[in-house]
Each structure stands twice: as structure tokens, then as C-alpha cells.
Structure 1
Amino acid sequence: MDQIHLRGLQFFAYHGVFPEENKLGQRYIINLTLSLDLSKAGKSDDLSETVNYAEIYHVVEDIVKGETYQLIESLAERIAQKLLFHYPIENVDVEVIKPNPPIDGNLDYISVQIRRGHETV
């Protein structure tokens, strides 16, 4: 299966279990892998035969910035469901990275990654 990768989508949002996270907010990074057949687009050079990744960016932005979740697992699930419902994607991998989790310790970031297809929606 062919793939389109969108890496490092960054948004400031208010997700988390703790009140401080919902009040102060923080940066989130989203990585996507969209699996779909790109052969028609490759042959025709026609945007209508593929997925417009600028649209994908804005769909994800609307979810991350416009909705609130306690868990980044739920955020990832919502992104996957919306993309699978609205675009001709066979499978989507969604990684949500939280660079500054409220953990008393040293770590670069935490992330969750999910893979969803039409059979899991």
C-alpha cells in the first residue's frame, strides 16, 4: 500500500487530566501516515485522485485545537476516525507526542501511536 506521511504538525492546545494542563496548555506534535492507493494520482498528476494534505493538516488542527481530551489516546482516536470517515484512506497511523508531560522526572516526551483502518472504525 502506498503512503503519504505528514510529520511534525505542531499545535498549542489544552488536553490533559490535570487542571494545570487545561489552564496553561502546551504544545502537541502529530505525525500521520495515510495508506491509500496513489497509482491513479501518479499517472494522472491530478489532485482529485489523491488526498489533499493541506486539508488533512487543517482537519487535524481543528480537532487538536478545537476539542478537549483528557487522554492523548482519545485525541489520536478522534483524529483517526475523522480522517477515515472523510477521506479515501485504507489505514491511518496517528502518533500524538506530548513534549512536556507533567511527570516529575527527566524525559524527552511521551507519545501514543495507533493504527486504524475501516474495520476498526
Structure 2
Amino acid sequence: MDKILLNQMMFYGYHGLFPEENKLGQRFLVDTELMLDLKKSSRSDDMHDSIDYGEVYHVIKEIMEGEPKNLVEAIAEAIADELFQSFNLLKACKLTVTKPDPPIPGHYQSVAVEIYRERNE
């Protein structure tokens, strides 16, 4: 399956379980793999035969900077749902939502959730 990738999109959101996360907010990173057939668009050179990644970014931004969610898992699922609703050509997607600075003690680079979803036809 062909892919469109959007890597390391950075957003500031107010998601999390702890009150300070909801009040102060924090950075989130999102990586997205969109699976679809790109044969037609690669030959036609017409955006109508593909998925506009500028529109994908906007969909993800609305969720990431919108209504707070408790869990990173819920953020990823909401993004997947909205992508399928917004883009008919999308067959499957893989999303990684990374929280670089979660409020938990320890030494680590980040925490993240990765999901893979296919269109239910």
C-alpha cells in the first residue's frame, strides 16, 4: 500500500489526567502514515486523486489543540476517526502521538501511543 507521511507535527494541547496538564498544557508530537492507492494521482498529477496533507494537518491540529482528553489513546482514536470521515480515499492509517514531557518521575525521552486502524467498509 502506498503512503503519505506527516512526521513530527508539533502541537500545544491541554490533554492529560492531572489538573496541571489541563491548566498549563504541554507539547505533543504526532506522526501519521496514511495508506491509500497513489497510482492514479501519480499519473494524473491532480490533487483530487490524492489526499491533501495540508488538510490532514488541519484535521489533526483541530483535535490536538481542541477539547482536552484524559488519555493519549483517546487522542489517537479521535484523530483516526476524523481522518476516515474526512478523506474517502484513506484505506488505513497509523498514528503515533508522543508526549515528550509527561508529569511522571524518571529518565526517559518521551511516552507515546501508536495505533493502526483500517477503514471499515
Q: Report the TM-score range of the alignment, normalised by the length of the smaller protein.
A: over 0.9
Structure with the higher helix share, 1 or 2: 1
Please provide the CA RMSD for this pair. 1.0
2:97 paired residue number = 96
1:22-41 matched pairs, under 5 angstroms: 22-41=22-41
**TM-score normalised to structure 2 length:** 0.97
Q: Quote the residue 2:50 is aligned against.
A: 50
Deviates more, 1:84-93 or 1:74-83: 84-93
Q: CA deviation at 1:16?
A: 0.2
**How far off is 1:62 after superposition?**
0.4
Shift of 1:67: 1.8
Q: Which runs of 5+ in 1 are unaligned?
A: none
Deviation string, structure 1 residues 69-112 (Cα, Å, up to 9, x no partner): 00000000000010012102000101000000111111100000
| Code of the aligned partner of 1:17 | L
Sequence identity (%): 43
- Structure 2 residue identity aligned to 1:103: I
Q: Which letter does structure 2 place at the counterpart of 1:106? A: H
SS in 1 for 2:116: strand
Query: Which consecutive residues of structure 2, in runs of 5 or more, have no partner in the other structure?
Result: none
Partner SS, residue 83 of structure 2: helix
Superposition deviation, residue 46 in structure 1? 0.4
> Within 1, Cα distance between the matches of 2:62 and 2:84?
16
**Length-normalised TM-score, structure 1:** 0.97
Which residue of 2 is the match for residue 113 of structure 1?
A: 114
Aligned length: 120
